[in-house]
Amino acid sequence: MIISSCGNDVSEEEYKIGFSQAMTTDNWRREMNKAMRVESSMHPGLKLEIKDAGNHIAKQITQIDEFIKEEVDVLIVSPIQSIPITPAIEKAMNAGIPVIIIDRKIEGRNFTAYVGADNMEIGRNAAKYIISHSKGEAGIIEITGQEGSSPAYERSIGFKNTLDSVPGLKISHSIKGDWEKASIKDQLSTHLDSVEAPDYIFAHNDRMAMGAWEVARSKSLEDEISIIGVDGLFGPNGGIQMVKDGLLDATLLYPTGGAEAIKLAEELLRGESVNKYNILRTVVIDSVNVDIMQNQFDKLNQQQNDIEQQQAVIDEQIKTYNTQSDLIKLMLVLLGLLLLLSIWAIYLVVKIKKSKRKLEIKNQKIITQRNQIEDFAEKLKISNESKINFFTALSHEFKTPLTLITSSIESISDKSKSELKGISYETNLIINNSKRLLRLINELLDFRKLESGSFNIKPARTKISAFLENIVNDFRAEAVKRSIKLDFCSENKELEVYIDRDMVDKVFFNILSNAFKFTPKNGNIKVSIQEDNENVNIIFRDSGIGIPKEEFKRIFDPYKQGSNNVKPSSGLGLFISKQFVELHKGEISVSSHQGAEFRISFPKGKAHFKDVEILEIDADFQPSNFHQLSDPVVPQEEPINKDLDENAETVLIIEDNTDLSYVLKKKLSTEYHVYLSDGTDGIEKAFEIVPDVIICDLNLPGKTGFEICRELKNDLRTSHIPTIILTALDDKESRLKALKAGADTYITKPFNYEILRESLKSALYNREKLRYYYTNRIDEVRDENFENAEQNFLKDLNAIIDENLRDPDFSVEELAGKLNISRVQLYRKVKALLGVSISEYISTQRLNKARNLLQQSDMNISEIAYEVGYSSPGYFSTSFKNKFGISPKQLKS
């Protein structure tokens, strides 16, 4: 709307007039343009566009074309020359554009109207002037305008024709100009040098007349020659001024016709019919009338100026009007917008009120729900609290009976060995495990206390070196027993730190127990104390299996255990340690590089214990919980059953809990030869012993039970051995994993000994069945395409024996070598699978083949003996008879 209101001026321009001006180098042309502009400004509906051709014909043609394309309503042309411009004008006429020719003419009559003075008459008036001022005789020079332009031609004709009537008046010389004085000056000067000065010079315009005067004056002939010009322009340098100044004798008024052309155009646009030829009046201006003319022109000029001023005022008012009307429109638009915005604002207020009401309802609901949740949480908290309190109380309850058990058993074990009669092992076992349970319960209670935040720290000034060494020393015996090198190193024995000794004792004990738990035999554990400006650092470094980096943070989480910790544990120890260290404003961190390294830092001094009662006396520390290492009860003597049959089956137990493995060994030794492995050498022991049954735990140091089972089942030497898994893992996944690894039986702890015994028996019985099957179908085994590893083994075994049957020197060693196992392993494997020794098996194969040959071939006995690898036919016959109860000879006949 704003844009359209600003564009009102343009839309009011109803008509467009195009004017092709020949040139604008002289004042006459400028006057013409000015007159056109002034006139068109009087007609608000007209828009005038002037194009200046610059005296170039081609340019004028192009500009006319442009006006045609712009579809001007009227075209005004002042042609440079007649002939070349004519076709362009015809083109405009053909396009339906009315064309007004001004000043110079074109060829023919194909235009709408012509405006201009009668140039013939101008010529004639000039001649008449000379006639009336001369006495019938005078020399005359004519200076013509540009050739090819109609005024030059017509002025000349009019001039000549009129002069012709007076015989004494002759044009003695004619100079061709181009309307500008420069074009004639040289010619005139040369001419005047050669002839007598003329009486008159008639120049076709005032500019060339001025040139003629300048030449005459240069030759001091200005008073002798009378010069007549054309145009009669008003103003300085104009023809009128020149007449006034006596430079020219006369000038013939040649009106520009600018105003008249616009008036004509306006009439045409109004649809009025106009005259084709609109001839403007001309007049001679000479010394007689020059002042009157001057006055008239002054007045005219004055009027013109007034009109221009009024026009300017009108323009200004129109502008003001336009601006004001634009402003009013703008205000209207803004008012409209304001109205719309107000409506929108009202709508929004209503909407917000509505949604506010909705929100309030929602809020009320949420508050109610929150209150419900709070109530529920409170109830839950109370119920949880009571559960935990119950659990805590129960845990406390456990302590008393356990303590009673421990003390009673301790008093029993204090009795002399003879009195205990072989039960000292069991009593020790009960004591140690009761203590372990007690320790676990204590950890659980500490955890609970930490969770509820009810732990009060009681720091005491402590010589850390002595304090820690004391604890380390408690592990010395364990270190010696397990061939672990235990080092303690402290630079400053006097170094003091404020610690709650009870708590820190538990922390150090826990970290050291862990180090022992994960450090293998012959490993080492180093404990050192270092200090820096702010802290006392205690470092525990072991050469155990280490901890993967991603688990550094996790191991302090009470609900998670390290992946390397395959041993069952409460998982609370490290969490409690961390909490205790943090209660001291200290830090605990772990790193791992060939083993684990725990670093505990305590801040020096006591400034960090605010509002806490501090004990300043460095008294000896008596730990409230004596250090009970989970000491396995290793008996003095291995239980060996001397009455056991040499041929009794062998059992290998792979179990890291020495107590359990010992108890099992003790019980199973009545029926089996029992071998033990703590898990670190389970596979090696199985290869070495090739037992009849393996009992294997799953959580073991080093390889897991799954891995051990899989490896044994995939090895030719041990693949046939039934494996019983004995584990604390009671979940479906572990069961499945064990079966996939090739386990035959899966028993979970705590287990019933009788069930284990029966499982062992049935495993052996199954193997017996298999053996029966193999021995009785051994020949089928030879041919059939068996999948089973044992059957494959038998197939390979039979094939090798077959190949070497003729060789009397073919030995068990050779056979074992070909099967890639040791002689003992081969012996044990064959014995296990077939129930006979390998050499027995080879001879049976020889004799079976001999029997077949005896029955089915024509070979004689000696030949058969050699064929089945006997070097002596006599020995063959004896062996044959021993085996089949019939001699080869008898069988043959």
Residue closer to ligand FRU (CB basis): 28 or 793: 28
Residue pointed to by tokens 């029997």:
851
> Given candidates 149, 424, 428, 434, which one binds ligand FRU under the rule CB under 6 A?
149
Helix (H) / strand (E) element for 865: namely: helix 861-867
For residue 246, give the nearest of 210, 273, 282, 201 by alpha carbon.
210
For residue 254, give the nearest of 277, 275, 233, 228 by alpha carbon.
233
Which span sits near ligand FRU by CB under 6 A: 26-34, 283-291, 531-539, 818-826? 26-34
Decide the pairing of beta strands 284-286 and 250-253: antiparallel
For residue 841, give the nearest of 889, 788, 792, 883 by alpha carbon.
883
HEC profile of 469-516: HHHHHCCHHHHHHCCCEEEEEECCCCCEEEECHHHHHHHHHHHHHHHH
Binding track over 635-664 against ligand FRU, x by CB under 6 A: ------------------------------
CA atoms within 13 A on the CB side of 783: 3
Residue closer to ligand FRU (CB basis): 231 or 790: 231
Q: How far is the CB of 231 from ligand FRU (least distance, A)?
A: 5
Residue closer to ligand FRU (CB basis): 228 or 668: 228
Residues contacting residue 786 through CB under 8 Å, at least 6 positions apart: 792, 794, 795
The answer to whether the peptide bond before residue 750 is cis (omega within 30 degrees of 0) is yes
Asked if 654 and 700 count as a contact pair (C-beta separation under 8 A), the reply is: yes
Distance between terminal CA atoms of the chain?
136
Binding track over 75-114 against ligand FRU, x by CB under 6 A: ----------------------------xx----------
Residue 469 in the binding site for ligand FRU (CB under 6 A): no
Per the DSSP assignment, residues forming a β-bridge with 117 are 280
Q: How far is the CB of 178 from ligand FRU (least distance, A)?
A: 9
Which span sits near ligand FRU by CB under 6 A: 24-32, 189-197, 316-324, 633-641? 24-32
Tell which positions 734-793 bind ligand FRU, by CB under 6 A. Answer: none
Residue 230 in the binding site for ligand FRU (CB under 6 A): yes
Whole-angstrom distance, CA of residue 399 vs CA of residue 435 = 10
Q: How far is the CB of 229 from ligand FRU (least distance, A)?
A: 9
Helix (H) / strand (E) element for 883: namely: helix 873-884
Asked if 33 and 50 count as a contact pair (C-beta separation under 8 A), the reply is: yes
Whole-angstrom distance, CA of residue 613 vs CA of residue 457 = 9
Q: Which residue is nearest to ligand FRU (CB)?
A: 205
Q: How far is the CB of 206 from ligand FRU (least distance, A)?
A: 7
The answer to whether the peptide bond before residue 167 is cis (omega within 30 degrees of 0) is no
3-state secondary structure of 586: coil
Whole-angstrom distance, CA of residue 177 vs CA of residue 152 = 9
Q: How far is the CB of 291 from ligand FRU (least distance, A)?
A: 23
| Joined tokens for residue 815 | 């056979």
Whole-angstrom distance, CA of residue 243 vs CA of residue 226 = 11
Binding track over 341-380 against ligand FRU, x by CB under 6 A: ----------------------------------------
CA atoms within 13 A on the CB side of 141: 25
Residue closer to ligand FRU (CB basis): 185 or 710: 185
Distance of CA 608 to the CA centre of its chain: 46
Q: How far is the CB of 256 from ligand FRU (least distance, A)?
A: 9
Q: How far is the CB of 26 from ligand FRU (least distance, A)?
A: 5
Residue closer to ligand FRU (CB basis): 151 or 459: 151
DSSP letter for each residue of 614-669: -B---PPP--SS----------SS----TTS-TTS-EEEEE-S-HHHHHHHHHHHT
Q: How far is the CB of 28 from ligand FRU (least distance, A)?
A: 4
Residue 158 in the binding site for ligand FRU (CB under 6 A): no
Which span sits near ligand FRU by CB under 6 A: 143-151, 191-199, 272-280, 824-832? 143-151
Q: Which residues of 53-62 are buried (b: 16+ CB within 10 A; e: fewer)?
A: bebebebbbe
Q: How far is the CB of 208 from ligand FRU (least distance, A)?
A: 8
Q: How far is the CB of 200 from ligand FRU (least distance, A)?
A: 19
Residue 28 in the binding site for ligand FRU (CB under 6 A): yes
Which span sits near ligand FRU by CB under 6 A: 8-16, 144-152, 383-391, 846-854? 144-152
Per the DSSP assignment, residues forming a β-bridge with 526 are 487, 541
Residue closer to ligand FRU (CB basis): 27 or 424: 27
Which span sits near ligand FRU by CB under 6 A: 23-31, 130-138, 183-191, 439-447? 23-31
Distance of CA 717 to the CA centre of its chain: 57
Whole-angstrom distance, CA of residue 674 vs CA of residue 818 = 31
Q: How far is the CB of 150 from ligand FRU (least distance, A)?
A: 8
Residue closer to ligand FRU (CB basis): 151 or 562: 151
Tell which positions 168-187 bind ligand FRU, by CB under 6 A. Answer: 179
Q: How far is the CB of 146 from ligand FRU (least distance, A)?
A: 8
> Given candidates 33, 205, 577, 727, which one binds ligand FRU under the rule CB under 6 A?
205
> Given candidates 18, 19, 20, 29, which one binds ligand FRU under the rule CB under 6 A?
29
Asked if 804 and 814 count as a contact pair (C-beta separation under 8 A), the reply is: yes
Residues contacting residue 838 through CB under 8 Å, at least 6 positions apart: 812, 815, 826, 827, 830, 831
Residue closer to ligand FRU (CB basis): 206 or 446: 206
Q: How far is the CB of 283 from ligand FRU (least distance, A)?
A: 14
> Within 10 A of 93 (CB to CB), how many other CB atoms are there?
16
Asked if 542 and 518 count as a contact pair (C-beta separation under 8 A), the reply is: yes
For residue 253, give the nearest of 237, 272, 238 by alpha carbon.
238
Whole-angstrom distance, CA of residue 810 vs CA of residue 804 = 7
Q: Binders of ligand FRU: how many residues, by CB under 6 A?
A: 13
Residue closer to ligand FRU (CB basis): 20 or 543: 20
Residue closer to ligand FRU (CB basis): 81 or 825: 81
Angle between helices 823-834 and 812-819 (to 10 degrees): 90
| Joined tokens for residue 390 | 């119950």
Q: How far is the CB of 220 from ligand FRU (least distance, A)?
A: 27
Which span sits near ligand FRU by CB under 6 A: 22-30, 45-53, 575-583, 775-783? 22-30
> Given candidates 31, 52, 154, 231, which one binds ligand FRU under the rule CB under 6 A?
231
Residue closer to ligand FRU (CB basis): 57 or 747: 57
Decide the pairing of beta strands 596-603 and 535-542: antiparallel
Q: How far is the CB of 325 from ligand FRU (least distance, A)?
A: 43
Whole-angstrom distance, CA of residue 795 vs CA of residue 784 = 8
Residue closer to ligand FRU (CB basis): 80 or 460: 80
Q: How far is the CB of 127 from ligand FRU (least distance, A)?
A: 17
Residue closer to ligand FRU (CB basis): 147 or 306: 147
Binding track over 679-698 against ligand FRU, x by CB under 6 A: --------------------
Asked if 814 and 839 count as a contact pair (C-beta separation under 8 A), the reply is: no
Residue 151 in the binding site for ligand FRU (CB under 6 A): yes
Q: How far is the CB of 149 from ligand FRU (least distance, A)?
A: 6
Residue 254 in the binding site for ligand FRU (CB under 6 A): yes
Q: How far is the CB of 104 from ligand FRU (least distance, A)?
A: 5
Residue 536 in the binding site for ligand FRU (CB under 6 A): no
Binding site for ligand FRU (CB under 6 A): 26, 28-29, 103-104, 145, 149, 151, 179, 205, 230-231, 254
